[in-house]
Structures are given as structure tokens and as C-alpha cells.
């Protein structure tokens, strides 16, 4: 009788091996008055030493595969983060550019309005500008040392 390895038994040769074993068993059993219809392998166990070694190799292979997948995933994550950061920088630069353009147009418009107001009534314009300056300069608990005849205080003094 021929001997087969575990690899043969669990591979694609399995059906051929089972037919061969069935035929060989049938020939031997017929002498005893026994008829064999079919032989099947219910279990193919490994010796404990081999099983432990095989399972260890399987575990190591799975860990190797997992490390590979983690590494590939991390690489992809780095690429995505880099692309996202690049896109963020572009968006912020565009937004800053637009902000500066809008701010410039606003400043130009404010300057135009101030110039128009100044042309219409220079004294009133000077008065409102002084009030703005007072508001910004004279906060609560502010101490200011200036000459009484200072131009800065002209609108805070009694009318002359």
C-alpha cells in the first residue's frame, strides 16, 4: 500500500487518493467477506509538535500580513494628510488674498467718503475725527498730560 503525505491528502489529489484507498481496501476486505463501498477521510490530525509548529508559522504569517497592511495604511494616511495640508494652505492663501483685496477696496471707499465729507464741511469733519480720537484715547482710568491750549483738546474746552 502506498503512503501519502498530509499535503497530498489535503490538496487537489484528495479524490484520486480516496478512490485508490477504497479500491485497495476493497481487494483486501473481500477475502474476509466484507464489502467496502467507500472510504472517506474524516480527520487529518497532525502530531502535537507539528501542529504547534504549523500554528506558530500560521500566526507569524498573519502577523507579517497585518504589519504589511498597517504599513500600507499608514503610508496612504500620510499621503492623504499631505494632500489635505496642501489643499488647506492653498485655501488659506486664496482666502487671505481675497480678504486683503476686500479690505483694500473698503479702505479706498472709506478714504473716498472721508474726502467727500471733508470737502462738504471741513470743520464738522475735523470735529467728528476728534471725537473718534477721544474715544480711542480717553478710556476709563486714563491719565493724559497735555497743555491746556493743546489742539487735541480744542473740542473739549468751553466755546471761545
Question: How does pLDDT run across 71-119, given as a tens digit for each residue?
Answer: 999 999 999 999 999 999 999 999 999 999 999 999 999 999 888 888 8
Is 160 part of a structural domain of the chain?
Answer: no
- What is the structure's pLDDT at 98? 98
Is 60 part of a structural domain of the chain?
Answer: yes
Instruction: State whether 39 and 58 are in the same domain.
Output: no
Instruction: State whether 69 and 113 are in the same domain.
Output: yes
Instruction: State whether 58 and 6 are in the same domain.
Output: no
Instruction: State whether 52 and 116 are in the same domain.
Output: yes
Least confident residue range of 2-6, 127-131, 143-147 = 2-6
Residue 45's SS3 state is coil
Which pTM value belongs to this model?
A: 0.43
- What is the structure's pLDDT at 20? 85
**Average pLDDT of 64-73?**
96
In order of 35, 137, 146, 159, the CA distances from 149 in angstroms are 133, 18, 8, 13
Is 24 part of a structural domain of the chain?
Answer: yes
Supply the mean pLDDT for the chain.
85
- Please say whether the beta carbons of 156 and 134 come within 8 A: yes
Domain count, the chain: 2
- What is the structure's pLDDT at 40? 82
DSSP 73-136: HHHHHHHHHHHHHHHHHHHHHHHHHHHHHHHHHHHHHHHHHHHHHHHH-HHHHHHHHHHHHHHH
Q: Note down the domain range covering 59.
A: 48-126
- What is the structure's pLDDT at 71? 96
Amino acid at each position: 500500500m502506498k503512503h501519502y503525505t498530509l499535503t497530498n491528502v489535503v490538496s487537489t489529489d484528495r479524490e484520486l487518493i480516496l478512490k485508490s484507498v477504497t479500491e485497495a481496501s476493497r481487494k483486501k476486505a473481500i477475502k474476509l467477506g466484507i464489502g467496502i463501498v467507500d472510504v472517506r477521510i474524516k480527520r487529518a490530525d497532525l502530531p502535537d509538535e507539528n501542529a504547534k509548529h504549523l500554528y506558530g508559522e500560521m500566526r507569524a504569517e498573519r502577523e507579517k500580513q497585518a504589519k504589511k497592511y498597517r504599513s500600507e495604511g499608514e503610508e496612504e494616511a500620510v499621503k492623504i494628510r499631505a494632500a489635505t495640508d496642501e489643499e488647506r494652505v492653498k485655501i488659506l492663501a486664496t482666502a487671505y488674498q481675497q480678504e486683503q483685496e476686500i479690505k483694500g477696496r473698503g479702505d479706498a471707499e472709506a478714504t473716498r467718503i472721508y474726502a467727500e465729507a471733508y470737502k462738504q464741511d471741513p470743520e464738522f469733519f475735523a470735529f467728528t475725527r476728534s471725537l473718534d480720537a477721544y474715544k480711542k484715547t480717553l478710556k476709563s482710568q486714563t491719565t493724559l498730560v497735555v497743555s491746556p491750549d493743546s489742539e487735541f483738546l480744542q473740542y473739549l474746552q468751553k466755546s471761545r
